């Protein structure tokens, strides 16, 4: 049987690479956010991208079903069951210091976020 081929990972008897990056090196010097971003975007995130994703992961940590982010996500999902991304975006926006970009030019970018540093303002 022919082995599966993927652009995401590669391995041999002694090494594993994720998108060309040695996994041992990622374990030593990278973060979980670096690895998740690398898997999805094909590159290591910038410092600002890392900070944003870290904020999102912290915000979506399990904090109970009664949290505002959960209620907002459930409300958005119940209003539009065809768009789970709307519920995710709503929950992320409420749970963290993320602000949906209201000036998105098209629907493709409607759920892009910008990091708003309220503490530093």
Which of 94, 80, 102 is CA-nearest to residue 111?
Answer: 102
Q: With 0.75 as the threshold, say if the pTM is over it.
A: no
The domain locations on the chain are 1-45, 49-121
Residue 94 in contact with residue 69, Cβ under 8 Å? yes
pLDDT tens digit sequence for 26-69: 999 999 999 989 998 899 999 999 999 888 888 777 666 666 65
């Amino acid at each position: 049987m022919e082995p599966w081929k993927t652009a995401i990972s590669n391995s041999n008897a002694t090494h594993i690479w994720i998108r060309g990056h040695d996994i041992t090196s990622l374990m030593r010097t990278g973060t979980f956010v670096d690895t998740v971003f690398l898997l999805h975007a094909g590159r290591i995130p910038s410092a600002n991208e890392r900070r944003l994703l870290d904020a999102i992961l912290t915000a979506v940590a399990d904090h109970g079903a009664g949290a505002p982010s959960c209620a907002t996500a459930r409300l958005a999902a119940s209003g539009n069951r065809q768009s789970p991304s709307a519920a995710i975006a709503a929950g992320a926006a409420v749970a963290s210091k993320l602000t949906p970009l209201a000036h998105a030019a098209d629907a493709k970018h409607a759920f892009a976020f910008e990091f708003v540093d309220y503490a530093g303002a």
